[in-house]
Amino acid sequence: MDKLTVNDLDAQGKRVFVRVDFNVPLEDGRVTDDSRIRAALPTIRHLIGQGARVVLASHLGRPGGKVQDGLRLRPAGERLSQLLRRNVPVTGDALGVGTEDAVRRLRPGEVLLLENLRFHAAEEKNDPKFAEQLARYADVYVNDAFGTAHRAHASTVGIAKLLPAYAGLLMEAEIAALSKLLENPEHPYAAILGGAKVSGKLDVLRNLLTKVDVLVLGGGMANTFLLAQGRSVGKSLAEHDMVDEARRVLAEAEKRGIQVVLPVDVIVAKEVTRGTEYKTLPAEKIPASWHIVDVGKQTLALIDEALADVRTVVWNGPIGVFEIPVFGAGTRQVAALLADKADAGATVVVGGGDSVAAIQQQGLADRMTHISTGGGASLEFLEGRELPGVAVLLDREADAATTQPVPAAAKGSR
């Protein structure tokens, strides 16, 4: 990676502002999935181990610039305290005299979590004054929130222009894993793309078509491709306005000699609900009033065969209606198949909420090469786009003088 990381930083005694991604699901005031908090632990532990004074900042949900008690970060702070085995106070606001005092009182090795940044509309607007106020809390900036790196917000771009800006260990791992998929993948190389819509992944498809040998399509987006082949999909989720784009993708794949795997048999249901009637049918015989909800055994066998010799796999998006367990079998089987590939030495990178959930539910996470926490950021990276939250970090070849802390007197005037 060509960006400086916390491994290049002498953080002893410094105040370090760390942008983390604690946008975690909550239920009854408790964190129900702490994977994003756990992902930030290596960077936090690295900094406190050096004796840094760590100021953490994150958003949670979409409060629209207004305080919402249900989106306060206290549950995340409590979970982080448990994982670190040390108290991590949460401020009452990201700004204000009380917060400034709490930052001032931080001792080396202590950690403080600011309240939800998006309680301030200025955060998402990348307001320079808001960024300056945040920058006054620290000598150095670290971004370890890859999932927000595609957003030019005050805490991801604005503050990074005011302080020496480094990548955290999670950010480093994300960029390294995803860069390998684009720059130097080992072949044969397969992409498995699922989820609801072609439109949300069209640019990823176009970019990956220049790199992969095998393309597996599933989920709702596969229905649009079935339409492009002249098949009926009944009442299934599909984007009829994207059929021409799907045809162009298929034509380009054929031109490049890419093997495309689409469903040959599917599970169809009368309704996309729990407890409904369902059955397996050939993909060309979908009843007009039924919905495609998963792939069948023949399709899974084709996927297995297509991936037999692959050395690199990227997977983003479920193969079926994963949120209904009975229609998640195809997604779960793909997860197990990829775990076996990783065990055999293939590079396997997984992103997307339901894809990652399928892996975690089966206890397969530790067997994958890399699980991306990035969501939209991962997709934009795979499109080949520059992410503003990454671009603003210090380049490795930067002059050493630029990595020195900004003098406190200068922070408010830049």
Tokens read off for 360: 């975690």
Domain 175-382 has CATH 3.40.50.1260: yes
Residue 411 pLDDT exceeds 60:
no
Residue-level pLDDT at 369: 95
What is the arithmetic mean of pLDDT over 22-27? Answer: 94
Which residue out of 3, 36, 79, 411 is catalytically annotated? 36
Q: What is the structure's pLDDT at 397?
A: 79
Catalytic residue among 38, 125, 180, 197: 197
End-to-end CA distance of the chain: 28
For the cut 70, the answer to whether the pLDDT of residue 183 exceeds it is yes
What is the pLDDT, as a whole number, of residue 1? 61
**Is-catalytic flag, 255?**
no
CA 250 – CA 239 distance, rounded (Å): 16
Per residue in 36-84, pLDDT (tens digit) is: 999 999 999 999 999 999 999 999 999 999 999 999 999 999 999 999 9
Task: Point out the catalytic residue in the list 51, 234, 376, 384.
Answer: 376
Q: What would the pLDDT profile of 370-407 be if each residue is shown by its tens digit? A: 999 888 899 999 999 999 999 999 998 744 444 444 44
Domain with CATH 3.40.50.1260 in the chain: 6-164+394-411, 175-382
Cβ contacts of residue 370 below 8 Å, gap of 6+? 173, 174, 177, 348, 349, 350
pLDDT at 409 over 70: no
Of 106 and 396, more confident = 106
* Residue 168 annotated as catalytic: no
- Whether 36 is a known active-site residue: answer yes
- Look up residue 173 and give its two tokens: 């791992």
% the chain with pLDDT above 90: 90
Q: 6-164+394-411: which CATH number, 3.40.50.2020, 3.20.20.70, 1.10.10.10, 3.40.50.1260?
A: 3.40.50.1260
364-393 burial: b if 16+ Cβ within 10 Å, else e = beebbbbbbbbbebbbbbbbeeebbbbebb
pLDDT for the residue 374: 84
Tokens of 130: 């808001």
- Check 161, 353, 367, 384 and give the catalytic one: 353
